[in-house]
Amino acid sequence: MIKDLTGTMLNDGGQDILRSYVYSLQDTPEGSNQPYIKVDVQITRQVFDQPAFVDIAFYTGDCKSVGVLVDQIYYCCTADLIEQKVCYKEGSLIYSDDEKDSKCMAVKTFYFDKEKADVDVKYEWPINSSDLYFVHISNCNAENNHKGDITLTGQVIWMNPYGYLPGDVFMHLRVSLFFAIFHTIVFVAFMVLCVIHRKLLLSIQYAILVVLLYCIVEALSWYIYRVVLNNTGVYSVPALYFEVFLANVKKTALRVLLLLICMGLGTVKWTLGTTRMKIAYLALLYMFFSFFLQVIKEVESLGKRKFDEWLVFLVVIPAAALDTCFYYWIILSLIRTTQQLTLRKQVLKLQVFKAFFVVLIFSGAVALVMILYQGYLRWNSKSMDWKLAWIIDSFWDGLFFLLLTAVAFLWRPRHNNARYGYAEFFTEDDADDNQVPLETISVSSKRRVNKDNRDGFEEAILSIDLPTEDKDEIDLETETKKMD
């Protein structure tokens, strides 16, 4: 990773702490180049006599030897700290000179010539173990009134054996490619079925096809973005924002697709009525907050900056609340649609929705386990090994891929496709595959459905009391009376 420091100013006592994960040559998942950290910076001082030198420390995440904690963290030695015998040289960087710390850190001091305003810093530190590596540039000038301000021009480079991509991000490169391949396989299979049964396609099957195609584009886009970043080390803010935008459109589209399916669009009802506006508002709000949350995660993962906790909190809470609204609405709609199909005795459709209900319950249970595991790590101030952290980040994408695959399988085009389309009060359990398509059945030909024995699942579904529906949706109580 390349960090451009051009224009960075450090005032008296100022610190610039940079970090990135780096693989050793022995642990790297790919590549054979010797990893290193390289500083190529020109430091310019404002006045010729202040400061006289600048300290640059290189150390790993396990090496807690820079700075000292008194009532707060101090990096520069002051007169008060000297009195407390914490340090011994005023205006210098505080670090441990213990022999055991020499294996995980190095401190280099660069002096200014008396007649020059700048000093060129060129230093390369070889990497021998996989870890989080810090570059700490310190301006511990003892003077005040900004006499010791310095300006940095140049860059700091973290080079992994495979390229510039940070070690904790590299596996995302492979994951993006894998998801692109997997989505392509599902898309091609679904597309072939669509072509074979093109005269009988339902509207929801077109929607599934579009979402699958978009997921391929999104995964390939992330893969290309990370390949370019790995090869050049150049971090592009517009490119990152564009990738995050694509990712959030995908997340929102998947949630909306699941909601439309569970509402029974094209199978239980023709249109959504006024509900479509509620879905649009929820989707836009979710995409807005989720976008900024993802930007925060990506920027922090690249080591560009650390956002304030209050800012992260203001983004996380609305995003989580809106996500919860989506899940609640999806489950509620699925139960309602299943109730309607049970009352109408539309057996084929009911079997599909039963299977999807099981898929949702299973995915919800798996997601709950992951949430509890992440909560355990946070509660106990633990963190997963950074080499494996990509598993948690990729888990949610993998879960939604499985959901989308299940949707594509359950609602795949087939020879009796029309029987899965919308038709009111039509009983499917005694119909054969050569029946006239549902859309040709008139209202006068709707058959009265007699009550008979239902299985345990249907009885449980019908026993659930649901919130009051919108006026444009079917009232289950009224429908039940019509059928009795």
pLDDT of 471 strictly over 70: no
Res 430 pLDDT > 70: no
Residue 283 located in a structural domain? yes
Q: Is the dihedral of CA 180, 183, 185, 191 positive or negative?
A: negative
Domain range enclosing 194: 170-478
> What's the distance, CA 141 to chain centroid?
42
User: Among residues 134, 159, 184, which one ends one of the domains?
Assistant: 159
From residue 474, how far is each of 12, 70, 211, 343, 483 by CA, in Å? 71, 68, 28, 12, 14
Say how many domains are in the chain.
2
Query: Are both 36 and 84 inside the same structural domain?
Result: yes
CA atoms within 13 A on the CB side of 35: 29
From the CB of residue 72, how many other CB atoms can be counted at a distance below 10 Å?
7
- Under 8 Å between Cβ of 8 and 43: no
Supply the CATH number for residue 292's domain.
1.20.1070
Check if the beta carbon of residue 109 is closer than 8 Å to that of residue 55: yes
Tell me how far apart the alpha carbons of residues 336 and 333 are, in angstroms, rounded to a whole number. 5
Is 179:395 a contact under the CB 8 Å cutoff?
A: no
Task: List, for residues 60-87, the tens digit of each pLDDT value.
Answer: 877 767 888 777 788 888 888 888 877 7
Inform me whether the pLDDT recorded for 466 exceeds 70. no
Element (H, E) at 118: strand 118-126
The confidence band for 49, taking pLDDT boundaries of 50, 70 and 90, is: low
203 with 129, same domain? no
pLDDT > 90: percent of the chain: 16
Q: For residues 243 and 251, what is the distance between their CA atoms, to the nearest angstrom?
A: 12
Confidence of residue 216 (pLDDT cuts 50, 70, 90): very high
Do 197 and 333 reside in the same domain of the chain? Answer: yes
- Asked if the structure places residue 389 within a domain, the reply is yes
On whether both 375 and 317 belong to a single domain, the answer is: yes
Q: Which of 124, 159, 194 is the last residue of a domain?
A: 159
Same domain for 131 and 263, yes or no, is no
CATH of residue 126: 2.60.120
Does residue 223 share a domain with residue 90? no
Which residue, 159, 192, 214, sits at the end of a domain? 159
| Dihedral angle of Cα 394, 395, 397, 402, to the nearest 10 degrees | 140
Domain-located, residue 405: yes
* Whether residue 338 sits in one domain with residue 191: yes
- Classify residue 188: in a domain, yes or no: yes
Q: Decide if pLDDT at 426 tops 60.
A: no
pLDDT in tens, 227-262: 999 999 887 788 888 888 998 899 899 999 999 888
Task: Output the pTM of the full model.
Answer: 0.77
Q: Are residues 310 and 383 in the same domain?
A: yes
Q: What is the DSSP string of 17-72?
A: EEEEEE--TTT-SS--SPPEEEEEEEEEESBTTB-SEEEEEEEETT---BSEESSS
- Site of tokens 């914490």: 86
CA distance 371 to 409: 27
The better pLDDT of the pair 456, 8 is held by 8
In a domain, 92, yes or no: yes
Side-by-side strand order, sheet with 15-22: 15-22, 131-138, 53-60, 105-111
